[in-house]
Amino acid sequence: MADFGKVAVLMGGRSSEREVSIMSGTGVLEALRAKGVDAHAFDPAQRALDELVRDGFKRVFIALHGRFGEDGTVQGALELLGLPYTGSGVMASAIAMDKVYTKRIWTTHDLPTPGFMVARSADDVRAAADRFGLPMAVKPSREGSTIGFTKVVSRNQCAAAYDIARRHDDDVLCEQFIDGRELTVPILGSGAQARALPVIEILAPAGNYDYQNKYFRDDTRYECPAQLSADLTARIQALSVAAFHAIGCEGWARVDVMLRRSDDAPFLLEINTSPGMTGHSLVPMGARAEGVSYEDLCLSVLASASLKIGGER
C-alpha cells in the first residue's frame, strides 16, 4: 500500500450539515485506519487550519459538507498550505455549491436541467409559480441536504417558502418541478478516467427525501442498480459524467437526476463535490454494487488527493 504519511480527515466544520459531516468523517477515519493509514480527525471549527502543517500532516481527506468545506474556501486554504486534498479544486467546488451558477453552466453546455429563476422577494416566487406552474421547488442556492427546501403546491405558500429559503441564503432558487423518479449517480476519477458508478433510485416515504429521511430513518428504500433499461442507464451515466466535466470537478462527486415520468427524460438537479459517507450514503452504495468495499473506496479517494492549482498532483 502507498505510504500516505500522516492524514487529516476534516470533519464537523461550521456549516448547517455539521452533524452529518461528523458521521461521514467518523466512517472515513475508521475505514482508513482499518487499512493501516495514519489517519486523524481534524475539526476546522475547533482548530486553525495552519495547525495541519505544524502537526506534520501530509494529505487531507475532506469529509466536510456544505459551506466552509464544500464551497472552495477550505480548498483554497489547503492550496496555500501546500497540502494535497481530496475532491474538486477551488473553482469547481465553489460553482458546484451554488445551484444557480451550476445550472447556468449546464445550460451553456446544452445539458438538461429544470427551468429556474432567482427570487429576490416573495413576489418573485409568485412570478416563478406563474411561469413554471405548480408544484414548484423553492430552495437556497447554496445549501445542501434539502435544508431550506419547500415544495410549493399552492400560491399561498410562496411567501413562507421564500422566507424559509432566505434564512439560509440571499439567493433563493425557484425551480420547475419534475414529476418522476429520483436518481443519483456517483462519479469516481478525474479527466478521461472519470466514470459513473451504478445509477441508484431513491424511494423515499411519500416521495419526501428530506434531511431526516436521508440520514436518520430506515424506511427510505434504494434500488442499486436502478431498474432501468441498459440504454437509459448508459444515457444517464454519460449525462452525469458530462455534468461533472462541465463544472470542472475532480476526484469524485455525486450527481442528482430526476427522470421525468411521462417520457423518461433525465434532468440534472445538482452536483455534490464532497458526498456523504454515512451508513445511509449513496456513493458507498454504488461502489458496493461494483464489489468495492467502503474501506477500499475511502482508500481510493484518498489516493486521488492532489493540489489542483500548482504542485503535487
Q: Which residues are catalytic?
A: 17, 145, 215, 254, 256, 270, 272, 276
Encoded amino acid at 64, one letter = L
Distance, CA of 235 to CA of 53 (rounded, Å)? 44
Distance, CA of 190 to CA of 179 (rounded, Å)? 32
DSSP string across 108-157: HTT-----EEEESSHHHHHHHHHHH-SSEEEEETT--TTTT-EEE-SGGG
Residues 199/226, Cβ–Cβ less than 8 Å: yes
Q: What DSSP designation does 19 have? A: H
Nearest to 144 by CA among 82, 209, 205, 232: 209
Distance, CA of 90 to CA of 247 (rounded, Å)? 11
For residue 85, the SS3 value is strand
For residue 263, the SS3 value is coil
Show Cβ contacts of residue 259 under 8 Å, excluding neighbours closer than 6 positions. 180, 181, 182, 183, 228, 236, 265, 266, 267
Whose cell is 506534520? That residue is 56
Residues 154/227, Cβ–Cβ less than 8 Å: no
Distance, CA of 93 to CA of 84 (rounded, Å)? 15
Residues 214/241, Cβ–Cβ less than 8 Å: no
Phi and psi dihedrals of 207, rounded to 5? 70, 20
Element housing 256 (H / E): strand 252-260
